[in-house]
Amino acid sequence: MRLRLPEEHPTEPPTGYKIAHPVLSQDGTRAGFTGVSLGGALPYGVLDEARCVYGRRHHAPHRRCDCGFHCVHESAAAEAMLCTAEHRAAVLLEVSVLGAYIRFERGFRYARQRVRSATVGPCGCGAVAGALADAGWGRPGWRALTAACAGCVRGRTSLSLASFARLAGEGLRVRVTGGPMVATAGLGVSELVAEAALLQARLDWFQSQLARLDDQGSQG
């Protein structure tokens, strides 16, 4: 006799929370996320379907496997994971749990998800983030991004928060901790101010590099 798990039929998709690293495709045309643990090798989009990380052909989530998207029920539990050293650069995601799912005590393992919002922490210098910049690592075909203020972007590949939301699509909202900004695919006043600050920071950096080269040339 096989035991069957109880089935749920919610009227609305359950909400969950998780942490992930924002990523940008190599050609700069797509944005998404990559997990911090088992699924970290498979970047995913804002609206995406889980695949078995072991390459098996079954649909996720399979009862005899640990594949599928994972999230926890409470935002506080996901935020707690951001305290560890290896996860300090990750962002907090609020997701809708779609398709088949398996409920656990602390969260879900499930087939499909929609990332509704991403909350970005402060820049490494402690200032409020205004952009997502190249973190110096990545996955094949994808650059990992990390929070950066306008002054710390310098010459790195970077996106404003609104640009990241636009590339990610599907109505993603990007928030920052320590500030009121909420970036969406459209550009409002606050997003335009952030874009201008980011462009000015890049211009200042390039001008400083040109000045340094001029000084080296005159000394030579």
Structure tokens belonging to residue 55:
């390459």
11/130 Cα distance (integer angstroms): 37
- Across 55-90, b (16+ Cβ under 10 Å) vs e yields eeeeebbbeeeebbbbbbbebeebbebbeeeebebb
Average pLDDT, rounded, for the chain = 86
- Long-range contacts, 178-185 (Cβ 8 Å, 24+): 178/122, 178/128, 179/128, 179/129, 181/128, 181/130
Q: pLDDT band for 154, please (50, 70, 90 cuts).
A: confident
The owner of tokens 């820049």 is 123
Which has the minimum average pLDDT: 76-90, 127-141, 195-209?
195-209
Residues with Cβ within 8 Å of residue 74, at least 6 apart in sequence: 17
> Quick check: 207 pLDDT over 70?
no
| 117, burial (CB in 10 Å: exposed 0-12, middle 13-18, buried 19+) | middle
C-alpha closest to that of 68 among 37, 4, 112, 98: 112
- pTM exceeding 0.85: no
Q: Looking at residue 218, what is its pLDDT?
A: 64
> Quick check: 144 pLDDT over 70?
yes
* Residue 58 DSSP one-character state: S
Please give the average per-residue pLDDT across 9-13, as a whole number. 91
